[in-house]
Structure 1
Amino acid sequence: MDLANFLIQLLNSVQYGLLLFMLAAGLTLIFGIMGVVNLAHGSFYMLGAYLAWFLSSRSGSLTLAIAGGAVLAVLFGLLLERLLFRHFYQRDHLDQVLLTFGLIYIFEEMRSMLWGDDVHGVSIPAALSASIPLTDNLSYPVYRLFMSGVCIALAIGLYLLISRTRLGMKIRAGAFNRDMTEALGVNIKRIHAIVFAIGVALATVAGMIASPISSVYPNMGSQVLIMCFVVVVIGGIGSVRGALIAALLVGAVDTFGKVLLPAVSGMLVYMLMAAVLLWKPEGLFKQ
C-alpha cells in the first residue's frame, strides 16, 4: 500500500469512526445515564436517512433537510420518551429489550407504509460534490471531509454540553446518583427526557449525513446497531470519551482490515472487543 492509498484509507477510517461515534454516543448516554437497553437505536439512524431523502427531495436542499430533520428528531425523541420509555426506567432490562425490539418492527412497518420498500439515493450538494486530488490518479471526496467536520463539531458540542454547562452537571449527577440528585431538587424526569432526545437526534443526524454515500434502504438500521453496541462495550458503558476512542479504533480496524486482511475482516472488530474485555472488563473508560 503506497502513501496515497494509506492516506485515503486513514481518512475513510476516521470518517467511519466519527460516524459510529455519533451513533454510539447517543446509545451510551441512554444506556449509561438512564439505564435503558435501547435496541431500537438503529431505527433512528434509518429514520434520519429516510428523512434526508424525503425532505431534500421536497425542499431541494440537503442542508435544509438536515436542519429540519434534526428538529423533528428532537421532538420525536421527547414524545417517545414521554409516552413509552419513561415507564420503563425502573423495569427489568428484559422488559426494556422486549419494548425496544418491538419498536424495531413498528418503525419498519411505519417506514414501509410511508415511504415504501424501494432503495433511494440522496444527492450530494453541488458545493460539496468536488474531490481533492491526492495524486494524478487518486482523489478524496469533499463530502466525506464535510461529514467528518460535522461529526467533530457535534462531538465538541456534546463534550462542552456535558462538561461545561449546568445541564451537563445535572446529567452527570443524575447518572452518578439519581435519588440524591432528585432530593436536591433536580427534575430528573426532565433530564432523562433531554438525554433521550439528544440520543435520538445524534443517531438521526448521523443517518441524514450518511445517506448520500450509503443510500437509503429498508432495515439499514439493523446493520449499524451491532457495531454501535461493540463501540459502547469497548469504550465503557456511559462514557462519551470512551465511545469516541472506541469508535475511532473500530473504524481503523474495520477499514484497514477489509483492505489488508479481507478473508478475516468480519472477525477483526470482534477480536478487538474480546481483547479489550480481557484486558479491561468494564471497557476502556468508566462512566
Structure 2
Amino acid sequence: MDFDALTQCLSSAPCLVTQFTSGLVIGLLMFLTASGLTLVFGVLGIANFAHGAFYMLGAYMAYTVYTRTESYLLALAAAAVFTAACGIVFERWVVRPLKEADVMMQLVACFALVLIIDDVAKLIWGPAAISLGVPISMRVPPMQFQGGVVPVFYLVLMAISAGFGLAIWWLITRTQFGLTMRAVAELPSMASALGKNVNRYASAVLALGCGLAGVAGALAAPMRAILPGTGFSILLESFVVVVIGGMGSIPGALVAALLLGFTRSFGSIGFPLFTEGLMFLFMVTVLVLRPQGLFARTARTH
C-alpha cells in the first residue's frame, strides 16, 4: 500500500486528470460489456455465462477487419454485426432449449460453448496474444488539461461508449420495441397470450446483448491483448458490475461500472498489488449492506 502516492495524486491536478480520465474509460467499457449481460438477465431471466466469449469474438473480428481495411469504424460495425448474429444462433440452439432447465445445466452448456469458441479462436487466429494497436487515424498528440495528459483515443472511446449507453436507454424507454420487451420481461405469459412472439423478442435481446459485448471487445482491442481465454476474465468483471448494480438494472450497471473504473484507476496508485482485490472487496461490502445491489429490480412475474 502506498497512501503517500495516492495522497499526492489526489492533490495534483495533472495526476488527478490523468487517473480520472483513465477510470472513466475503464468504467464506460465495463458498462458497455456488462449492460448486455444485465439486459439479457433482466428480460430473459437467464445469466449468460458465455457473455465473455462474445466480447472476445468482437475483439478478434475487429482485429481481422481493421488489419485488412485500416478502418476502425468498419471494424466496430463488423464486430457488432458478427457478434449479434452469433447471439441469434446462441439463443436458438442453446438458450431456448435450456430456458426451463436447471441453472446448472445452463452453466454447463455455456461453459462448454466458451471452451469450443476458445479452441475455434486458436485454430483461426492462433494461441498467441495479438494486439490491434491504436488506430492510425487516432495516432495524434494527446490533449493537455490542467497539466494532465488525455489521449484523443480515450475521448473517442468515451464518446462511443456513452453514445451506446444513451442508445440503449432510448431503445428500452422510448420505443415500442422497448415497451414490448419490458412487457415480455415482466409478464411473459400475458405477452404471449396477447400475440407477442416471445421467442422473437428473446432472440432480439440476445442479439443486442451479444452485440454490445462485441462492440466493447472491439473498443478495448487497441488497449488490451487479444488471446483465447480472455472471455473468462471479462465475464468475471461483468458479473461484478451486474451484482453491484443490481441484476437486470441498466442504470445500476452504469453506476457500478464507473465506481469500479475509478476504484481500479486510483487503486493502481495507492494499492498497486491489491487493485483487483479492491474491486471484490467493494462487491462484498455492497452485498453485505444491500444484497439486492445498488439498484434493485422487481421480480419477474410468469
Could you tell me the TM-score, scaled by structure 1's length?
0.96
For 2:144, which of 129, 133, 150 is the aligned residue?
A: 133
Measure how far apart 1:64 and its partner are.
Answer: 1.2
| Other-structure match for 2:4 | none
The one-letter code sitting in structure 1 at the alignment partner of 2:127 is: D
Detail structure 1 runs of 4+ shifted over 3 Å in the superposition. none
| Residues in 2 aligned to 1:77 and 1:263: alpha-carbon distance in whole angstroms | 37
User: Is 1:56 the counterpart of 2:66 in the alignment?
Assistant: yes
Distance 1:238 1:181 in 2: 19
Distance 1:62 1:117 in 2: 24
Following the alignment from structure 2 to structure 1, what is the Cα–Cα distance between the partners of residues 123 and 260? Answer: 35
Question: Secondary structure of the residue that 1:133 maps to in structure 2?
Answer: strand
Contact kept, 8 Å, 2:31 with 2:253, in 1: the verdict is: yes
Any idea what the Cα deviations from partners look like across 1:15-52, whole Å, max 9, x if unmatched?
10110011111111112221222211111111111111
CA contact (8 A) 2:62 2:78 kept: no
What CA distance in whole angstroms lies between the structure 2 residues aligned with 1:74 and 1:228?
A: 18
- Size of the aligned set, in residue pairs, is 286
The DSSP-based 3-state class of the residue aligned with 2:223 is helix
The answer on 1:286 being equivalent to 2:286 is: no
User: Which of residues 206, 213, 232 in structure 2 aligns to 1:196?
Assistant: 206
Q: How far is the alpha carbon of 1:69 from its aligned partner?
A: 2.1
**Distance in 2 between residues matched to 1:135 and 1:31, nearest whole Å:** 42
Q: State yes or no: 1:47 paired with 2:53.
A: no
Query: In the alignment, residue 143 of structure 2 is paired with which amino acid?
Result: I
Residue 250 and residue 113 in structure 1: after superposition, are their counterparts in 2 closer, same or farther (change >3 A)? Answer: same
How far, CA to CA, are the matches of 1:274 and 1:114 in structure 2?
Answer: 39
In 1, Cα distance between equivalents of 2:31 and 2:64: 25
Q: How does 1:192-271 map to 2 (within 5 A)?
A: 192-271=202-281
2:132 equivalent among 116, 122, 138: 122
Q: Which residue in the other structure is 1:184 paired with?
A: 194
Q: Which amino acid in structure 1 is aligned with residue 117 of structure 2?
A: F
> 1:172-193, CA deviations, whole angstroms, 9 ceiling, x for partnerless residues?
1111121112112211111110
CA contact (8 A) 1:66 1:205 kept: yes
User: Hey, what does 2:83 align to over in structure 1?
Assistant: 73
Deviation at 1:135, TM superposition (A): 6.1
Answer with 39-48 or 216-225: which moved more. 216-225
Write the letter of the residue equivalent to 1:236. G
* 1:100 alignment partner AA: C
- 1:164 Cα shift? 0.5
Q: Do residues 95 (structure 1) and 102 (structure 2) align? A: no
Of 118-127 and 188-197, deviating more is 118-127
**Cα distance in structure 1, aligned partners of 2:276 and 2:36:** 25
- Give unmatched runs, 5+ long, in structure 1: none
Segment of structure 1 superposing worse, 42-51 or 177-186: 177-186
Q: Over aligned residue pairs, what C-alpha RMSD do you find?
A: 1.4
For 1:285, what is the secondary structure of its paired residue? coil
Gaps of at least 5 residues in structure 2 are 1-8, 298-302
Percent identity, please.
Answer: 36
The one-character-per-residue Cα deviations of 1:196-246 (angstroms, maximum 9, x if unpaired) are 000100000100111011132221121111111010001111111111111
